[in-house]
């Protein structure tokens, strides 16, 4: 906040029901997003000042965007500025609300009579609503969005852009769902908005994600819901009722910070037969680091120093930290199979194959005595990815990075194809 307080705030660019957007004079391309201290429901038909609400919304947004950003999702969020404001990339907003549902409830039940509350959507149910207060934000089909031919920051919103937003919404939902599950909380549904970054012309998650943006049911129990629905359901706005809504908000704000904390530890230990395999091992380590996984490199040969191999193994079995061993041994890989026969932890063979003997050498990793369950992965990046997938089963932060990476790969392919098609026209 030292730098934050020096922000040279320029003119107001826009104002909505819950926040104001200001230009930043010295930072072209960035804006200040300032929350207003009020809660709205039913299109602002009902407005009540709620002290501290802005601060709570700020904290929620900051934690959620930090989680998404660290996972690798592209967002407008830059950094928190004050208790009630953050800086963000200046975007031209796409006037569509993307709604993603895991469990049927609320307006979905009204629009789809006959569906029982609690019905689970797999895959997730996606809906789009055109942001139009005067008409109560009508639901739009994909065809309607395409027909509107929105053009923002020089980017026309066509099929490719709609597909990217659709896929991104699913990934964002799954990441937040996974994170809330660590708090025994079901993410029931969520609504988000995208913008086009005026500088990069990329589609990024924009606006905010706060209590107004989702339904959360602790332990999947609707009666304990901790979201804005409590406010919508109030028969009468009494000071006591507002206190209850505020306490619910506080419940969320206390927990939202925990979403950023790893719920389980984990590490990768790379064993190499010789330091001549160092470059191969460094690649594994670099890829592990990209998933936030600690990676330790050790040198040991199961052929020449089996006592040392087993001693090193015991070091990592002794402290209770879930560990994945990666064995890097050229020529005849004794290391991985010996480890696999002597530990209950997972072992991945990642032999550094050479062009001359590789086709023969690989069999020492593949053809094993019975009772061994080690896997073999040739690419160092892929070995690290597989280790991350194992750790990701119990560590949501690692899982979220894998999930975002999958989305980003999908988007890159889509954009590469679009570019190629445009060139060949
Ligand atoms: N990063 C951003 N850059 C530019 N405009 C933004 C950004 N984030 C949000 N906005 C816009 O700020 C305005 C105020 O937000 P909000 O109070 O939520 O409005 P609304 O009532 O339309 O939902 C909206 O038009 C929103 O789209
Ligand atoms: C606003 O969010 C930031 C980031 O989480 C946090 O440091 C700050 O304390 C928050 N303000 C309040 C009042 O919660
Ligand atoms: C999102 O994508 C899914 C799967 O391709 C599709 O069935 C659905 O109609 C799309 N939804 C929207 C709102 O575009
Ligand atoms: C979630 O529920 C499980 C099983 O009931 C319990 O062991 C765990 O402590 C709970 N976690 C949190 C964060 O409440
Ligand atoms: C959302 O959660 C925050 C906690 O981050 C809470 O303070 C706030 O009251 C909740 N509701 C709204 C509408 O912001
Ligand atoms: Mg809004």
* pLDDT over threshold 60, residue 50: no
Instruction: Please answer whether residues 205 and 214 qualify as being in contact, where contact means their C-beta atoms are separated by less than 8 angstroms.
Output: no
Percent of the chain with pLDDT over 90: 78
Considering the domain architecture, whether residues 204 and 299 belong to the same structural domain is answered as no
Considering the domain architecture, whether residues 116 and 19 belong to the same structural domain is answered as yes
**How does residue 263 score in pLDDT terms, banded at 50, 70 and 90?**
confident
Residues 348 and 340: their CA atoms lie apart, in Å, by 9
Strands 30-35 and 38-41: unpaired
* pLDDT over threshold 80, residue 190: yes
What's the mean pLDDT in 123-151? 97
- Out of 85-99, 205-219, 237-251, which region has the weakest mean confidence (pLDDT)? 237-251
Which CATH number belongs to the domain containing residue 287 in this structure? 3.40.50.1970
What mean pLDDT value characterizes the chain? Answer: 92
Residue 51's pLDDT is 54
Considering the domain architecture, whether residues 171 and 291 belong to the same structural domain is answered as no
Residues 229 and 236: their CA atoms lie apart, in Å, by 14
Considering the domain architecture, whether residues 249 and 328 belong to the same structural domain is answered as no
Considering the domain architecture, whether residues 210 and 335 belong to the same structural domain is answered as no
Task: Find the residues whose C-beta lies inside 6 A of ligand 1.
Answer: 14, 16-19, 21, 31, 33, 76, 88-91, 93, 195, 206-207
**Residue 423 located in a structural domain:** no
Instruction: Please answer whether residues 321 and 267 qualify as being in contact, where contact means their C-beta atoms are separated by less than 8 angstroms.
Output: yes
Q: Which atom of ligand 1 is nearest to the CA of 18?
A: 17
Residue 172's pLDDT is 98
Which CATH number belongs to the domain containing residue 254 in this structure? 3.30.470.20
What's the mean pLDDT in 21-44? 79
Considering the domain architecture, whether residues 185 and 43 belong to the same structural domain is answered as yes
Residue 37's pLDDT is 65
Considering the domain architecture, whether residues 234 and 364 belong to the same structural domain is answered as no
* pLDDT over threshold 90, residue 220: no
Q: What's the 140 CA to ligand 1 centre distance in angstroms?
A: 20
Mutate to test the pocket of ligand 1, among 11, 13, 15, 16 (most ligand atoms within 8 A of CB): 16
From atom 6 of ligand 4, which residue's Cα is the shortest distance away?
184
**Residue 419 located in a structural domain:** no
Q: What's CA 68's distance to the chain center, in Å?
A: 4
Ligand with an atom nearest the CA of residue 33: 1
Task: Find the residues whose C-beta lies inside 6 A of ligand 5.
Answer: 39, 53, 56-57, 59-60, 210-212, 228, 246, 249-250, 252-253, 256
Q: What's the 399 CA to ligand 1 centre distance in angstroms?
A: 30
Q: What's the 93 CA to ligand 3 centre distance in angstroms?
A: 21
**Residue 196 located in a structural domain:** yes
Considering the domain architecture, whether residues 121 and 159 belong to the same structural domain is answered as yes
The tally of domains found in the chain comes to: 2
Residue among 294, 295, 304 at smallest CA distance from 329: 304
Residue 35, domain extent: 1-260
- The residue among 208 and 298 whose pLDDT is bigger is 298
What's the mean pLDDT in 138-152? 98
- Out of 3-7, 210-214, 237-241, 419-423, which region has the weakest mean confidence (pLDDT)? 3-7
Instruction: Please answer whether residues 21 and 70 qualify as being in contact, where contact means their C-beta atoms are separated by less than 8 angstroms.
Output: no
Q: What's the 358 CA to ligand 3 centre distance in angstroms?
A: 45
């Amino acid at each position: 906040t030292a730098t934050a307080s020096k922000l040279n705030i320029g003119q107001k660019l826009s104002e909505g029901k819950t926040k104001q957007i200001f230009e930043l004079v010295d930072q072209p391309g960035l804006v200040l997003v300032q929350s207003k201290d009020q809660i709205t429901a039913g299109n602002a038909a009902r407005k009540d000042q709620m002290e501290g609400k802005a601060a709570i919304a700020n904290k929620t947004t900051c934690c959620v965007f930090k989680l998404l950003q660290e996972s690798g999702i592209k967002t407008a969020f830059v950094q928190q500025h004050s208790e009630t404001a953050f800086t963000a990339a200046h975007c031209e907003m796409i006037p569509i609300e993307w709604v993603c549902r895991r469990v049927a409830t609320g307006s979905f039940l009204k629009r789809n009579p006959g569906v029982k509350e609690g019905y689970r959507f797999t895959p997730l149910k996606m809906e789009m609503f055109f942001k139009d207060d005067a008409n109560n934000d009508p639901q739009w089909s994909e065809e309607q969005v395409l027909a509107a031919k929105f053009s923002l920051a020089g980017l026309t919103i066509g099929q490719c852009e709609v597909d990217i937003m659709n896929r991104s919404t699913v990934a964002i939902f799954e990441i937040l769902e996974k994170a809330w599950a660590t708090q025994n909380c079901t993410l029931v549904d969520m609504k988000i908005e995208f913008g086009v970054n005026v500088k990069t012309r990329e589609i990024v998650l924009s606006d905010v994600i706060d209590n107004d943006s989702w339904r959360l049911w602790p332990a999947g129990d609707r009666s304990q819901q901790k979201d804005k629905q409590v406010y919508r359901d109030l028969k009468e706005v009494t000071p006591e009722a507002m206190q209850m809504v505020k306490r619910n908000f506080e419940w969320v704000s206390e927990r939202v910070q925990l979403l950023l904390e790893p719920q389980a530890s984990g590490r990768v230990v790379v064993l190499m037969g010789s330091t001549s395999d160092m470059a191969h091992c460094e690649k594994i380590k670099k890829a592990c680091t990209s998933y936030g996984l600690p990676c330790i490199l050790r040198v040991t040969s199961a052929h020449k120093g089996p006592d040392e191999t087993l001693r090193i193994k015991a070091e990592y079995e002794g402290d209770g930290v879930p560990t994945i061993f990666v064995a890097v041994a050229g020529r005849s890989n004794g290391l991985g199979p010996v480890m696999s026969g002597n530990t209950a932890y997972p072992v991945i063979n990642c032999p550094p194959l050479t062009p001359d003997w590789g086709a023969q050498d690989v069999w020492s990793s593949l053809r094993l005595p019975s009772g061994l369950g080690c896997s073999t992965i040739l690419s160092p990046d892929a070995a690290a990815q597989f280790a991350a997938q194992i750790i990701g089963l119990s560590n949501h932060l690692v899982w979220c990075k894998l999930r975002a990476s999958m989305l980003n790969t999908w988007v890159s392919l889509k954009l590469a194809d679009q570019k190629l098609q445009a060139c060949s026209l």
